[in-house]
Amino acid sequence: MKSFHKDIMTLQTWFSPAFPTGAFSYSHGMESAIQDNLINDAGSLKSWIALLLSYGSGRNDGLFLKAAYEDVTEANALCLALCGSKERLRETTELGQAFSQVVKAGYGVRLPDRTAYPVAVGMTAKQIDLDLALTLQSYLQAFASNLISVGVRTIPIGQQAGQDCLIGLYPIIEKMTKKIKSESLNELGSATFVSDLMAIKHENSVPRIYRTKPRKN
């Protein structure tokens, strides 16, 4: 009989701040949105993340994770090709590389080079037989938690406000987990253009706190 307790422990490990992906150091373009006063309190932070989960990069990441779990061969190439900016591309490849390095050594999985982060998570979850719905939900919660952490530190808002924001996003995370589980890559799409523009702007912002400034050739 499959042990969900083991699945939960594994996923808690993967998405813990202690897991060495360095996800906490990326703002997903939100640093620029905060500087431009588009996000300035707990309410606007929650709304921003809710849109990403429902209509933007969070939802698309979930679709790529599911596709990778189901061995869809074009999932990684599509994930890399559809990044909305150089910053987003570097973010997903660097997170994917860091994640892959640890799980290859720790779980003996096989992953190709230059694997996007959600694709690496989906492929690894499939290879070690984790539950898909639980993996999706954990990934989306970690996506939201990382961005809330950016808001807590950068707006700034208090720790309690950050937790209230996450709790308020639980229904959306649950809804999107169920929705994504029944969808395919045919449903890929985004309606969060301002977020994409903020990621582009963030590439060359000075000063900056968070990573993903493009390397000079």
CATH number belonging to the domain at 34-202, selected among 1.10.1040.10, 1.10.4190.10, 3.40.50.300, 2.40.50.100: 1.10.4190.10
What tens digit of pLDDT does each residue of 72-108 get? 999 999 999 999 889 899 999 999 999 999 999 999 9
Check residue 165 and give left, alpha or beta (phi > 0: left; psi -120 to 50: alpha): alpha
Closest CA to 90 of 210, 209, 180, 186: 210
Distance of CA 200 to the CA centre of its chain: 17
What tens digit of pLDDT does each residue of 99-151 get? 999 999 999 999 999 999 999 999 999 999 999 999 999 999 999 999 999 99
What tens digit of pLDDT does each residue of 154-192 get? 999 999 999 999 999 999 999 999 999 999 999 999 999
Closest CA to 208 of 66, 40, 32: 32
Q: What angle do CA 14, 18, 20 make, to 5 degrees?
A: 70
Determine the Cα–Cα distance for residues 108 and 170; give it in Å rounded to an integer: 33
The position carrying tokens 């649950």 is: 174
The full set of domain ranges for the chain reads 34-202
Please give the pLDDT value at position 2.
Answer: 62
217 pLDDT above the threshold of 70: no
